[in-house]
Chains A and B, each alone.
Chain A
Amino acid sequence: MSVNSKIYIVIPAWNEAQNIAAVLANLAQYDYQVVVVNDGSVDETAQEVKKFANVYLLSHLINRGMGAALQTGNEFALQQGAEVIVHFDADGQMQAKDIESMILPIFSGEVDITMGSRHMGMKSNLPWLKRYIIQPPAKVINFLFTGMNLTDVHNGFRALNRKAAATIEIKQDGMAHATEILQHVSKYDLRYQEIPVEIIYTDFGQGIMGGFKILRDLIIKK
Chain B
Amino acid sequence: MWIQIIASIVILTILYNLITKFRHNKLSRFTFVAWLLFWLIALVIFWIPEITSYLAAALGIGRGVDLIIYISIVVIFYLIFKIYLYLNKLDSQITKVVRHFAINETKNNHESSQSSDHHS
Contacts and interface: CB of A to CB of B under 8 A. Distances in A.
A45 interface: no
Interface stretch (B30-38, B70-78, B87-95): B87-95
Lowest 3 CB-CB distances: which A-B pairs, in order?
A: A58-B102, A72-B99, A68-B95
Interface residues of A, number: 18
Interface of B: 88, 91-92, 94-95, 98-99, 101-103, 105-107, 110
Interface string A75-97: 11001000000000000000000
B92 A171 contact: yes
A221 B98 contact: no
A173 B101 contact: no
- Among B88, B98, B103, the most chain A Cβ lie within 10 Å of the Cβ of B98
Contact of A72 (B91, B94, B102): B102
Given A171-B92, A173-B95, A221-B88, A60 B103 contact: no
Given A56-B110, A76-B106, A173 B91 contact: yes
Contact of A62 (B92, B98, B107): B98
Given A64-B94, A173-B91, A173-B92, A75 B99 contact: yes
B95 A64 contact: yes
Contact of A68 (B98, B101, B110): B98
A68 B103 CA distance: 13
B106 A60 contact: no
Contacts of A58: 102-103, 105-106
Contacts of A37: 102
A61 interface: yes
Contacts of B92: 171, 173
Nearest to B103: A76
Contacts of B105: 58-59
Interface string A162-194: 000000000101000000000000000000000
Contacts of B94: 62, 64
Contacts of A64: 94-95, 98-99
Contacts of A75: 99, 103
B110 A60 contact: no
Nearest to A64: B95
A60 B99 contact: yes
A30 B106 CA distance: 22
A59 to B, nearest CB: 5
A184 B78 CA distance: 31
Contacts of A114: none
